[in-house]
């Protein structure tokens, strides 16, 4: 939360561990500054924290404050953030659903599903069989036209990922995500060069344009997935996207509908899809109705679509404490 002397309060989401830096360091750098100067203020925060930051919780904190500044600007100008980014040429964005509750997602209307890969190298051939069975089930539910993606959560090796991709080739997996640890740029480059049956995606745990320059240098992925609340905020996400465009690489942000990131997705022609999670199954109908209302859910040829709020800023609605 960033307050101004004009009576406008901006809200921005960051990542885990950010609160200490947000409360104890960044105010000293920003007090008395103009919130409209987002590039300048980002540089001040970056240079002021780089000696103990550069990645992780410090950049999570920087992200939160940067996003709050964009929220302030939108509120001051009475414009949604996507209008600040240049507007949009589309009225909704195709989405995919992350989660292994496949039946729930398909019933809701999703035609694109990303699965959490449950087994890795330690599980041997039996684990490979179970991974294949999961993907086979998804293909049966989605039919021939649906899209399947896999989130491997940094748990694989190059040989295992290569073997898994070959095993899953008949099911036409669209991408395999985060197969390796985020600093293994060489390994990611090798894997991307060897596998041609699916796309390689990564970037959720990468920070700033400097990290993504390394992904580009090593040709580590076909799709970049920065998280707006972790990578340095909306200001930095724009630089990452510019770098991606220079390398003809699409950007599909991690958690693309959360924390205001939907505004970036909506305004950007280089972001073809938006990631979403459904509320857990078994809840009251009101939960799912509100989910649809808050995310501008509609249905069409590609399944589920979303669009961000038209309210000023990121459109967050808050309740004053009683």
Residue 148 lies in a domain: yes
Given its phi and psi angles, is residue 303 left (phi above 0), alpha (psi -120 to 50 degrees) or beta?
Answer: left
Mean pLDDT of 135-145: 98
Residue 40 lies in a domain: yes
Percent residues over pLDDT 70 in the chain: 99
Residue 196 shares a structural domain with residue 235: yes
> Which sign does the torsion angle of CA 14, 18, 19, 24 carry?
negative
pLDDT at 175: 99
How many domains, in total, are found in the chain?
2
> Which sign does the torsion angle of CA 112, 184, 253, 194 carry?
negative
Q: Give me the CATH number covering residue 173.
A: 3.20.20.120
The H helix count followed by the E strand count for the chain is 13, 11
Residue 74 shares a structural domain with residue 100: no
Angstrom distances, CA of residue 90 to CA of 82, 189, 268, 305:
12, 34, 10, 11
Residue 105 shares a structural domain with residue 59: no
Residue 161 shares a structural domain with residue 104: yes
Binned at pLDDT 50, 70 and 90, residue 321 comes out as low
Residue 319 has pLDDT above 80, yes or no: no
Mean pLDDT (the chain) is 97
Residue 70 shares a structural domain with residue 99: no
Q: Give me the CATH number covering residue 14.
A: 3.30.390.10
Residue 203 has pLDDT above 60, yes or no: yes
Residue 85 lies in a domain: no
Q: What is the pLDDT of residues 256-306, one digit of tens each?
A: 999 999 999 999 999 999 999 999 999 999 999 999 999 999 999 999 999
For 107, the domain range is: 93-306
pLDDT at 232: 98
Residue 87 lies in a domain: no
pLDDT at 249: 98
Residue 31 shares a structural domain with residue 126: no
Percent residues over pLDDT 90 in the chain: 98
Q: Which of 214, 251, 169 is nearest to 54 (CA)?
A: 214
Taking a C-beta distance cutoff of 8 angstroms, is the pair 71, 267 a contact?
Answer: no
With a CB cutoff of 8 Å and minimum separation 6, the contacts of 35 are: 2, 4, 10, 41, 69, 72, 73, 76
Residue 74 shares a structural domain with residue 188: no
Residue 73 shares a structural domain with residue 104: no
> Which position among 60, 205, 254, 263 bears the catalytic label?
254
With a CB cutoff of 8 Å and minimum separation 6, the contacts of 36 are: 73, 76
Q: Read out DSSP for 245-290?
A: HHTT--B--TTTTSTTHHHHHHH-TT---EEE-PPPTT--HHHHHH
Q: What is the pLDDT of residues 208-261, one digit of tens each?
A: 999 999 999 999 999 999 999 999 999 999 999 999 999 999 999 999 999 999
254 catalytic? Reply is: yes
pLDDT at 189: 98
Residue 145 lies in a domain: yes
Binned at pLDDT 50, 70 and 90, residue 322 comes out as very low
Q: What is the pLDDT of residues 23-81, one digit of tens each?
A: 999 999 999 999 999 999 999 999 999 999 999 999 999 999 999 999 999 999 999 99
Residue 152 has pLDDT above 70, yes or no: yes
Cβ burial, residue 269 (10 Å; 0-12/13-18/19+): exposed
Residue 22 lies in a domain: yes
């Amino acid at each position: 939360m960033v307050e101004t002397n004009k009576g406008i309060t901006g809200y921005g989401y960051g990542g885990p561990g950010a609160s200490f830096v947000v409360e104890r360091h960044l105010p000293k750098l920003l007090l008395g500054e103009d919130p409209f100067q987002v590039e300048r203020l980002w540089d001040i925060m970056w240079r002021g924290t780089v000696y103990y930051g550069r990645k992780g919780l410090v950049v999570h904190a920087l992200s939160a404050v940067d996003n709050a500044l964009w929220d302030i600007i939108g509120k001051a100008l009475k414009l949604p953030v996507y209008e600040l980014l240049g507007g949009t040429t589309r009225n909704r964005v195709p989405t995919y659903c992350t989660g292994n509750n496949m039946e729930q997602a398909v019933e809701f209307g999703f035609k694109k599903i990303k699965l959490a890969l449950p087994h890795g190298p330690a599980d041997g051939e039996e684990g490979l069989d179970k991974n294949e069975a999961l993907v086979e089930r998804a293909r049966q539910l989605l039919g021939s036209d649906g899209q399947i993606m896999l989130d491997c959560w940094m748990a694989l090796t190059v040989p295992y990922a290569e073997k898994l991709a070959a095993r899953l080739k008949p099911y036409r997996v669209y991408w395999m995500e985060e197969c390796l640890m985020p600093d293994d740029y060489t390994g990611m480059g090798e894997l991307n060069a060897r596998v041609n049956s699916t796309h390689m995606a990564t970037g959720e745990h990468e920070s700033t344009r400097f990290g993504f320059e390394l992904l580009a240098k090593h040709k580590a992925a076909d799709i970049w997935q920065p998280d707006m609340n972790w990578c340095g905020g909306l200001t930095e996400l724009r630089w990452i996207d510019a770098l991606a465009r220079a390398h003809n690489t699409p950007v599909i942000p991690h958690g693309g509908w959360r924390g205001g990131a939907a505004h970036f997705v909506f305004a950007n022609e280089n972001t073809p899809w938006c990631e979403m999670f459904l509320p857990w199954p078994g809840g009251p109908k009101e939960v799912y109705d509100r989910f649809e209302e808050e995310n501008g859910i509609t249905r069409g040829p590609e399944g589920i679509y979303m669009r961000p709020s038209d309210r000023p800023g990121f459109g967050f609605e808050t309740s004053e404490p009683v």
